[in-house]
Structure 1
Amino acid sequence: MSNPPRQPIPPKPFSAPPRGLWRATPPAIFPPLLGLFGIGLAWRQATVVLGAPAFIGDMFLGAVSLLYLFAVFAYLAKVVRRLATLPEDLRILPGRAGLPAASAAGMLFAAVLVPYATMAAQSVLVLALCAHALIALLIIRALLIGPVEQRRVTPAWHLSFVGFIIAPLAAVPLGWVELSQVIFVTTLPVAVAVWIISAFQFSRADVPVPLRPLLAIHLAPVCLFGIVSALLGYGALSIAFGGLGIIVMAVMLMAVRYLTAGDFSALWGAFTFPMAAFANLMFAAAFYKVTPFAVLGGIELALATLAVCVIAFRVMKLWANGKLAKSTNASTV
């Protein structure tokens, strides 16, 4: 018996190319990078305060710098394809937290460069400050034209409108002391306002479980104002912020089950920078001969290094397999 003739195979229907790293880069990749930069800078400080090996901080910061540059390039590749993706990302909370973290991380990148290339550090810092100002203005625009419920104050407002306080970490070593003083004076009242309004809102309504990790951001400005106070020579103020930082950290440790009640998500990236900033605060205050701060900073740095690296790895893994863009509703091109 002869075999029946083969039927022709119909052509496969056309399908669009997959949404890869370059087409759907989510802003949520930047908060963990901000935390990683903070950990690296803390290890640099640990070299001075605790005598830790210098190569730890140098190697860590070198690796994080390369990862940050790749992430910035990946996001800009999306924006260049379609400029509207930038305001689209700012319409959602992960974008309003992620993009300010990107420019804030640029300020820390400038701090990384200070000991090696002064001109490069100055250029990066100016670019980061300009980018942060632009993002802040775009966020204000998004809040004004968006739904009223989106105008509720969130801890992410610290990143957007108080995040300029990160700049003095590079600006003071570069000799831009007056600029740092202006930033300190102008951002402190904004941070206080966000703390007060957030406390009032929290007293009236509980925070949804998925958004609770963002509450950790409230610790970051406390730490940053203490660090900048030390850089500017305000010793008593730095120690005062150090004590306040210990209190806030203690409260957050007691509330860790509350903060982590939900499943792991990209918003867990909000834990990373406050943990790193606390270690930097302890080391900054330790310069004023407060030994307990140095010991506490060393212990917290060891624990924070592990926690921040694990969170960053999990977020980057979600980005690599394409799940991060979908879970955070990032814009695509």
Structure 2
Amino acid sequence: MDSPERLRHLPLPLFAVPMGVGGLGLAWREGARVLGAPAWVGEGLLALATAAWLLIAVLHMVRALRHPGSLAADLRHPVRSAFAGAITVGLMIVTGGLTPHLPGLAAGLWLAAVGMHLVIAAWTVRVLILAPREPAALTPPLLIPMVGNVLAPAFGARLGFEALSWMYFGLGALLWALLQPLLLGRAAMGPPLPALLRPSLVIFLAPPAAAALSLSALTGGFGPGPLACHGLAVGFAAVFLTMLGEFARAPFSMAWWGWTFPTAAFAAATLQAIAAHPLPGLGVLGWAVLLASSAIIATVCRATAQAAWSGALFRPD
């Protein structure tokens, strides 16, 4: 496949790459604080995520200029359109990486990211109201634009936007409470997700993990609220551990990136919980969760690079 055709079929879900890599960087930053892990690992991953976000954004801008119909088709697609939310969630994570180093720039980018994410979430709700979907079109990636607001306070509260962060948390939590029962109902009653989309089920892990991180930032500690959210995340993690064989049989697709940010956010929340409520042996658990998330993301990155090299990544669905 030549370069122009590759650009035509550039996957919108590629914006999940900086989400996953950046989320892992934040987890390693917590690992440096809690476990004494090398600080350069987290900072390096966050720098890589920033570079990936910029590169993917530029490529999609070029795609929009050369193949506007192709991008418009993605934004109308019932599954791929949800990854528009990954654009702004990835930018939020970039602000988290910049906050200790360039807080002024981070604050400006955070305001831009949450403003754009609100527009994307509002548009997604509008489409769902005006054009109701069949149950088969209700898939876990819908949580990205709808519930991404839950993550915003994890960075905004540390930048001084406390009131605005509480508002975004309330919006994201309400949308999460409304949407997740619909998605769980579809999973329980069918139709079953296609094999290519089955890995996206792990996205259910992201909202409670992100909510734990945000409530920790908003309340200044890992108290009852963050612990309750993390308890739900632990429950989902236990379910997905029993499904490892099922996930391992899934053919590669961009849905594999659904494993990345949720497991990274879960690792970060677990490390915060360990730091706030230390017990003997929990350090070993922290390392296990952090390294497991790292192994998952390394595996998905490798598979994605192989698909890009072979051209499989740029073939239409």
Question: TM-score under structure 2 normalisation?
Answer: 0.89
Structure 1 portions without partners, runs of 5+: 1-15, 329-333
43-52 vs 283-292, which deviates more?
283-292
Partner residue in 2 for 1:106: 91
Aligned-residue sequence identity (percent) comes to 27
Amino acid at match of 1:273: F
Partner-residue secondary structure (3-state), 1:241:
helix
Amino acid at match of 1:256: L
Within 1, Cα distance between the matches of 2:59 and 2:260?
A: 22
**1:294–1:226 CA distance, 2 compared to 1 (3 A):** farther
**1:312–1:323 CA distance, 2 compared to 1 (3 A):** same
| Selected match of 1:314 from 300, 303, 311 | 303
- C-alpha displacement of 1:282: 0.6
Partner residue in 2 for 1:331: none
Quick check: 1:216 aligned with 2:202? Answer: yes
263-272 vs 134-143, which deviates more?
134-143
- C-alpha displacement of 1:17: 6.9
190-199 vs 89-98, which deviates more?
89-98
Partner residue in 1 for 2:235: 247
Q: How many residues align?
A: 313
Tell me the C-alpha RMSD between the 2 structures.
Answer: 2.5
Partner-residue secondary structure (3-state), 1:172:
helix
Amino acid at match of 1:301: L
| Cα deviation code 1:55-83 (max 9, x no counterpart) | 11112222222122111111122123455
| Selected match of 2:253 from 265, 273, 285 | 265
199-208 vs 312-321, which deviates more?
312-321
| Cα deviation code 1:265-317 (max 9, x no counterpart) | 11111111111011011122234224466542321111211210220232244
Amino acid at match of 1:243: G
Amino acid at match of 2:188: S
Within 2, Cα distance between the matches of 1:67 and 1:273?
A: 15
213-222 vs 60-69, which deviates more?
60-69
| 8 Å contact kept, 1:42–1:280 | yes
**1:319–1:94 CA distance, 2 compared to 1 (3 A):** farther
| 8 Å contact kept, 2:79–2:142 | no
**1:157–1:133 CA distance, 2 compared to 1 (3 A):** same
Partner residue in 1 for 2:49: 64
| 8 Å contact kept, 1:89–1:95 | yes
| 8 Å contact kept, 1:153–1:194 | no
**1:40–1:124 CA distance, 2 compared to 1 (3 A):** same
Larger-gyration structure (1/2): 1
| 8 Å contact kept, 1:227–1:285 | no
Quick check: 1:193 aligned with 2:181? Answer: no
- C-alpha displacement of 1:150: 7.3
Structure 2 portions without partners, runs of 5+: none
Quick check: 1:162 aligned with 2:151? Answer: no
Quick check: 1:302 aligned with 2:291? Answer: yes
Question: TM-score under structure 1 normalisation?
Answer: 0.85
Within 2, Cα distance between the matches of 1:94 and 1:312?
A: 21
**1:294–1:225 CA distance, 2 compared to 1 (3 A):** farther
126-135 vs 163-172, which deviates more?
126-135
| Selected match of 1:231 from 217, 240, 245 | 217
Partner residue in 2 for 1:119: 104
| 8 Å contact kept, 1:90–1:139 | no
Partner residue in 2 for 1:325: 314
- C-alpha displacement of 1:168: 1.4
